[in-house]
């Protein structure tokens, strides 16, 4: 077998693309290892970066790791590598979430490779979006893309959407009233100049977007009950376009699949000129999460709500240096 060996610079650049992935509160709960003799990347969940109150089962943590895995697969495909990916390859080690082995002969997956420019262009946009609808054929393509990664994407009917928005508002209200939730949010948000300029994780205040003064959009307000100096207010879209991503089961491997599906369709959306933000407050409450299920089929486990549309791009947020999350072994 003739497999091109990546140089150390290649490995660093590939992992640099992986860590551009979204994660809950930008906690970046991952570590990578490249085993040169096995030509294998290993991805580990970093439970020291878990959010025990907001995400007690580490479901969101796995979704973030799944997104980083998808970015790694895109970067490898773009570099021309053909890979074999295994989820949770060691039953005895739940932190070992994926192994990606370079195999040959063959070239990278062209569909994945075409998404590469979007890896660094994609950012969460918490700004108001235009009201113009996402074309039906693009909705269909996004749905098919999610399915290729083992997840289902559904755009709810107008009345179900209103119900979802109510659940988002209700979850947001209860989060604001909950001291433990407020504490965890404050821990992962940066609202004063030194922390915004020097932190390499968490959500900086410049990424909060404007405070909502009207409209129906489902956008998490990272300021919580705090005042952010100089923050603008805005009216959000009256009819946000929300899609619900779900999986058939609800185990760690399903969360990893959901994360890959989410990132793949966010990259595709970026390529198609859309912007997006993620919404998970109702998913963080077990009693509310099940109410998000499709009322017609009643099937599936909701994993993520995505708000998509045309609008301003979001700003780039910080990431920890690759040297902090990568070990290269001989």
The reply to whether 74 sits near ligand FMN by the rule CB under 6 A is no
Given candidates 64, 108, 240, 311, which one binds ligand FMN under the rule CB under 6 A?
64
Tell me: does residue 60 bind ligand FMN (CB under 6 A): yes
> Two tokens at 34?
């490249």
Closest distance to ligand FMN from the beta carbon of 181 (Å): 12
Site string for ligand FMN, 141-180 (x = CB under 6 A): ----------------------------------------
**CB of 283 vs ligand FMN, minimal distance in Å:** 8
- Residue 300 DSSP code: S
Q: Which residue do the tokens 């990893």 mark?
A: 256
191: contact with ligand FMN by CB under 6 A: no
User: In angstroms, rounded to a whole number, what is the distance separating the alpha carbons of residues 231 and 233?
Assistant: 7
Does the footprint of ligand FMN cover residue 66 (CB under 6 A)? no
CA dist 278 and 81 (Å) reads 30
Residue 14's contacts (CB-CB under 8 Å, 6 or more residues apart) are 6, 41, 72, 75, 76, 79
Q: Which two three-digit tokens encode residue 312?
A: 């301003």
Q: Should residue 123 be labelled a site residue for ligand FMN when binding is judged by CB under 6 A? A: yes
Nearer to ligand FMN, 102 or 267 (CB): 267
Indicate whether 317 belongs to the interface with ligand FMN (CB under 6 A): yes
**Residue 301, interface with ligand FMN (CB under 6 A)?**
no
Q: Cα Rg for the chain, rounded, in angstroms?
A: 19
* CA dist., res. 248 & res. 119, Å (int): 27
Question: CA 255: distance to chain centroid?
Answer: 11
> For binding to ligand FMN (CB under 6 A), which residues are involved?
22-26, 60, 63-64, 67, 123-124, 126, 203, 220, 277-281, 314, 317
């Amino acid at each position: 077998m003739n497999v091109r060996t990546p140089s150390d610079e290649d490995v660093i650049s590939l992992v640099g693309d992986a860590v551009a992935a979204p994660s809950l509160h930008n906690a970046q709960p991952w570590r990578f290892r490249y085993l040169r003799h096995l030509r294998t990347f290993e991805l580990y969940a970093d439970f020291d970066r878990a959010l025990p109150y907001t995400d007690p089962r580490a479901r969101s943590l796995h979704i973030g790791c799944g997104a980083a895995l998808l970015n790694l697969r895109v970067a490898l495909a773009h570099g021309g590598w053909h890979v074999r990916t295994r989820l949770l390859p060691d039953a005895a080690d739940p932190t070992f979430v994926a192994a990606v082995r370079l195999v040959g002969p063959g070239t990278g997956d062209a569909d994945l490779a075409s998404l590469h420019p979007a890896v660094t262009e994609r950012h969460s946009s918490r700004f108001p979006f235009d009201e113009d609808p996402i074309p039906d054929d693009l909705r269909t393509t996004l749905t098919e893309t999610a399915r290729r990664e083992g997840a289902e994407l559904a755009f709810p009917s107008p009345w179900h959407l209103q119900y979802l928005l109510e659940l988002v508002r209700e979850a947001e209200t209860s989060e604001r009233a909950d001291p433990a939730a407020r504490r965890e949010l404050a821990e992962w948000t940066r609202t004063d100049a030194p922390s915004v300029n020097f932190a390499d994780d968490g959500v900086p205040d410049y990424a909060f977007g404007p405070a909502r003064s009207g409209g129906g959009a489902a956008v998490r307000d990272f300021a919580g009950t705090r005042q952010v100096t100089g923050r603008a207010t805005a009216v959000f879209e009256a009819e946000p376009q929300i899609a619900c991503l779900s999986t058939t089961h609800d185990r760690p491997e399903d969360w990893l699949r959901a994360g890959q599906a989410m990132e793949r369709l966010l990259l595709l959306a970026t390529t198609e000129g859309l912007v997006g933000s993620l919404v998970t407050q109702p998913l963080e409450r077990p009693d509310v999460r099940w109410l998000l299920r499709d009322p017609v089929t009643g099937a599936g486990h909701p994993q993520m709500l995505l708000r998509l549309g045309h609008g301003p791009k979001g700003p780039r947020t910080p990431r920890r240096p690759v040297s902090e999350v990568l070990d290269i072994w001989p």
